Chains A and B, each alone.
Chain A
Amino acid sequence: MNASIAGALLLAARKLLTAFIQLLVVATLIFSVMYIMPGDPVLLLLGADSNPSPEAIASMRSQLGLDQPVLSQYFVWLWNALHLDFGKSLTNGYPVANYVMQNLPRTLELAFAAIIIAALIGVPLGIAAALKRGSMRDTVLTSIATIGISVPVYIMGTLLVLFFSLKLGLLPASGYTDISRNVLEHFRKLALPALALGFGLAASIARMTRSSVLEILGRDFVRALRAKGMSERRIIWQHVLRNAAIPIVTIIGLQLGNLMGGTVLVEAMFNWPGLSTLLVGAVSARNYPLVQGAMLAIAAAFILINLVVELLYSLLDPRIRRKRS
Chain B
Amino acid sequence: MIPEAVLRATRSQPSFLASIVLLAAVVFIGVFGSWLAPQDPFLLNPQIVNQGSSTAHWLGTDEFGRDLLSRLLIGVQPTLLVAIGATVIAGVFGTMIGIMGAYGRPLIAFLIMRSVDIMLSFPPILLALLAVGFWESGIFSLSVVIGVLYIPHFARVAHAATLQVSRMEFMEAEHAMGASARRVVFTAILPNILSPLVVQATLTVAAAILLESGLSFLGLGIVPPEPSWGQMIGTARGYLGQNPMYVIWPSLLLALTVLAINVVGDRLRDILDPRLREE
Docked-complex contact B218 and A268, CB < 8 angstroms: yes
Query: C-beta contact mask, A18-43 vs B, less than 8 Å → 1, else 0?
Result: 00001001100100010001110000
Instruction: Output the residue of B126, B230, B255 with the most chain A CB within 10 A.
Output: B126
Contact assessment for B126 and A154 in the assembled complex, using a CB-CB cutoff below 8 Å: no
Asked if A280 meets B218 with Cβ closer than 8 Å, knowing A39-B134, A264-B125, the reply is yes
- Contact, CB under 8 Å: B262 / A276: no
B126–A146 CB distance below 8 A: no
Instruction: Give the Cβ gap from A42 to chain B, nearest Cβ, in Å.
Output: 15
Are B217 and A150 touching (Cβ within 8 A)?
no
Q: Which partner residue on chain A sits nearest B133 by CB separation?
A: A283
Q: With the chains together, A25 CA to B118 CA distance in Å?
A: 8
B251 within 8 A of A: yes
Is A248 engaged at the interface, CB distance under 8 Å to the other chain? no
Flag if B233 contacts A155 (CB, 8 Å).
yes
Interface flag for A56 (CB, 8 Å):
no
Interface size on B, residues (CB 8 A): 38
> Is B237 interfacial (CB-CB < 8 Å)?
yes
A276 touches which one: B126, B133, B266 (CB < 8 A)? B126
The answer to whether B118 and A22 touch across the interface, beta carbons within 8 angstroms, is yes
Which residues of the partner chain B approach A66 to less than 8 Å between Cβ atoms?
A: none
B121 and A302: CB pair below 8 A?
A: yes
A146's partner among B210, B234, B241, B259 (CB-CB below 8 A) is B259
Contact call A33/B214, Cβ cutoff below 8 A: no
Measured CB to CB, the nearest residue on chain A to B237 is A158
* Residue A312 CB within 8 A of the other chain: no
Would you call B134 and A152 a contact (CB within 8 A)?
no
Q: Are B122 and A299 in contact (CB under 8 A)?
A: yes
Contact of B240 among A29, A158, A284 (CB under 8 A): A158
Whether the pair B254, A38 counts as a contact (CB closer than 8 A) is no
The 6 closest A-B pairs by CB, nearest first: A261-B123, A283-B133, A261-B126, A150-B259, A37-B134, A150-B258
User: Which A residues have a C-beta under 8 Å from some C-beta of B?
Assistant: 22, 25-26, 29, 33, 37-39, 143, 146-147, 149-155, 158-159, 161-162, 166, 257-262, 264-265, 268-269, 276, 279-280, 283-284, 286, 291, 295, 298-299, 302-303, 306
Could you show 9 A-B contacts with beta carbons less than 8 Å apart? A146-B259, A147-B255, A150-B258, A154-B214, A154-B234, A260-B123, A269-B237, A291-B130, A295-B130
